[in-house]
Structure 1
Amino acid sequence: MQFADKTVVITGAAGVFGRWIAAHFAAEGATLCLSDRRGDALEAVVGELGLDADNTLRHVTELTDHASLLELIELVRMKWKAPDILVNNAGIYTKFGLLEMSFEDWDRVNDVNFRAPFVLTREMAKLMIAENRRGSIINISSGAARQMRNGSVPYCTSKSALERLSKGFALELAPHGIRVNVVEPGFAPGSSVSTLSDDYVASMLKRIPLGRSSGPDDAPNAIGFLCSDKASFITGAVLSVDGGNSIGTFESGQLGATPGTAAIR
């Protein structure tokens, strides 16, 4: 119960990773503020995890709407004065060619994946500073930040920008004792927001060196560690928890092939 006296804000809390992260912190005793654009899904998370409905804050947040972000920040300020931990988990993965995508689609990807974490990190950090909280902020990124993907360039660039922004915040917030780190979770199919075809899921699983998709404890364990006292001297770090997927190209079945016959990619 290492987070029994901590308050935690999680965006995208009704998604695959959001539910896993919420479950981890709840099991460690934290009080949660769950944010997502789907109110019914938030209520489902509260029920599924057996959370105390009276003590669990919920906010239906539209991350592309600045006023909605400010509402979430004000809710946290009114109820807690400041959070101890912020996890900017929400994100969208899109498949658009740069020559075909609309400007509106470009803006939406960057508003959700980059601008919203900027606003929430900055404003929640201000609350932490006002209350003298030595808080922890985690931004959820992806191996796509370092490896371009055809058809998903907007996603890749938004995550690259998020990682650089995180290091900038880590630098400027260090004098206040606030740590900012990044976790790159592994591939986990099942999102109802960014749906993936069966063929795409199968192709992705073949590329993961450790041979499986991300499970419910993988990324949350890393996030919990970075938010704990055990990581009190870690800030500005990027931790990949992806089974080796971001190391480089890997195709299952290629190992042990006849010399000289392996496909070059």
Structure 2
Amino acid sequence: MPVTPRNTARAVVTGASSGIGMALARELARRGHSVVLVARRGEILEALATEIRSRFDVDAEVRAVDLSDLDAVAVLCDELRGQEISVLCNNAGIATFGPVADADLDYERAQVRLNANAVHDLTLAVLPQMVERGTGGILMVGSAAGNMAIPNNATYAATKAFVNTFSESLRGELKGTGVHVTLLAPGPVRTATPSPDEQSIVDKMVPDFLWHSSDKVAELSLDALARNKMRIVPGTLSKAMSVAGGYSPRAVVAPIVGHFYSKLGEGD
């Protein structure tokens, strides 16, 4: 990691109640970092905190916070400003599929607050102290979806475009400060392969060989953060989307990916 674990410091992981976030929390703890677990589902976080304390002999704190609630985020940010935060993993996020005009508008607004506003606010809360100490790490979970226009996934793609650009812009500002910033742009990730009767529409549409293990993604991501790598793109599908978003004409790519995401919306 960019910093040596210290008893006085904490690594913060948002969206720690499932998937990549839970895997990041375990991997940080395995590497000796005490952690602050942030998500809405407090009961799951408490169970994870108990597991982490037992398995890794580090401290684990729980903050049951809805990061789409701006007032709740402000309270959390005030707390983090007063702590020594060694690592921030901005992982929490949600997505919707289908036309924006047909969507639950309140949920779309909540998606922007969670995927973009909370990422920005939490980063601003911990960044000055990292720069002052000359050490720290910020892992941003963006997406290859943020590199392109995606009809039927418009709000998610737009919020991830913010995360992608914010992350890479910060790197330019932080060069030579000792603070690392890495962007994770994962493809499909899951903890285990579901049985046929438990498969979601995404599981049915994306072949098994394109899925990546959340544990492996967490390990690769923290290794990349330790090296201050600009971007890590695990998985074949994510790499293909990154290439398509960077080099293919949007007028060609958008209808293709838009059709795929419309199918996800139909099955949601």
Fold-level similarity (TM above 0.5): yes
* Corresponding residue of 1:84: 86
Instruction: Kindly state the Cα deviation for residue 7 of structure 1 after the two structures are TM-superposed.
Output: 2.9
1:23 aligned to 2:26? yes
Q: Which of 228, 238, 263 is the aligned partner of 2:231? A: 238
* Corresponding residue of 1:152: 153
1:120 aligned to 2:122? yes
Identical-pair percentage: 20
Instruction: Kindly state the Cα deviation for residue 177 of structure 1 after the two structures are TM-superposed.
Output: 2.7
| Larger proportion of helix | 2
Q: Which of 50, 61, 67 is the aligned partner of 2:65? A: 61
* Corresponding residue of 1:257: none
**SS in structure 2 at match of 1:185:** coil
- What TM-score do you get using the length of structure 2 for normalisation? 0.77
Matches within 5 A, 1:5-24: 5=6, 7-24=10-27
Instruction: Kindly state the Cα deviation for residue 147 of structure 1 after the two structures are TM-superposed.
Output: 4.2
- Say whether the 8 Å CA contact 1:86–1:137 is kept in structure 2: yes
> What number of residue pairs does the alignment pair up?
234
Instruction: Kindly state the Cα deviation for residue 86 of structure 1 after the two structures are TM-superposed.
Output: 0.5
Counterpart Cα distance in 2 of 1:108 and 1:96: 16
Q: Which has the higher contact order (CA 8 A, sep 6+)?
A: 2
What amino acid is aligned across from residue 239 of structure 1 in structure 2? I
Instruction: Kindly state the Cα deviation for residue 84 of structure 1 after the two structures are TM-superposed.
Output: 1.2
- Say whether the 8 Å CA contact 2:80–2:125 is kept in structure 1: no
- Say whether the 8 Å CA contact 2:224–2:232 is kept in structure 1: no
Matches within 5 A, 1:96-245: 96-130=98-132, 132-174=133-175, 176-189=177-190, 198-205=200-207, 211-228=209-226, 231-232=227-228, 234=229, 237-245=230-238
1:40 aligned to 2:43? yes
Per-residue CA deviation, residues 124-151 of structure 1 (Å, 9 max, x unaligned), is: 1022234x14111110012211244442
From the superposition, tell whether residues 160 and 69 of structure 1 become closer, same or farther in structure 2 (CA, over 3 Å).
same
- What TM-score do you get using the length of structure 1 for normalisation? 0.77
Instruction: Kindly state the Cα deviation for residue 70 of structure 1 after the two structures are TM-superposed.
Output: 2.7
From the superposition, tell whether residues 3 and 51 of structure 1 become closer, same or farther in structure 2 (CA, over 3 Å).
farther
Counterpart Cα distance in 2 of 1:226 and 1:3: 16
Q: Which of 237, 240, 243 is the aligned partner of 1:247? A: 240
* Corresponding residue of 1:261: none
- Say whether the 8 Å CA contact 1:83–1:135 is kept in structure 2: yes
**Unpaired stretches in structure 1, ≥5 consecutive residues:** 250-264
Counterpart Cα distance in 2 of 1:212 and 1:182: 20
- Say whether the 8 Å CA contact 1:184–1:239 is kept in structure 2: yes
Which stretch shows the higher mean deviation, 176-185 or 240-249? 240-249
**SS in structure 2 at match of 1:108:** helix
**Unpaired stretches in structure 2, ≥5 consecutive residues:** 193-197, 243-258, 260-268
- Say whether the 8 Å CA contact 2:81–2:125 is kept in structure 1: no
Per-residue CA deviation, residues 58-100 of structure 1 (Å, 9 max, x unaligned), is: 111221223322322333344xx32111100000011231221
What amino acid is aligned across from residue 222 of structure 1 in structure 2? L
From the superposition, tell whether residues 157 and 37 of structure 1 become closer, same or farther in structure 2 (CA, over 3 Å).
same
* Corresponding residue of 1:253: none
**SS in structure 2 at match of 1:241:** coil
From the superposition, tell whether residues 122 and 174 of structure 1 become closer, same or farther in structure 2 (CA, over 3 Å).
farther
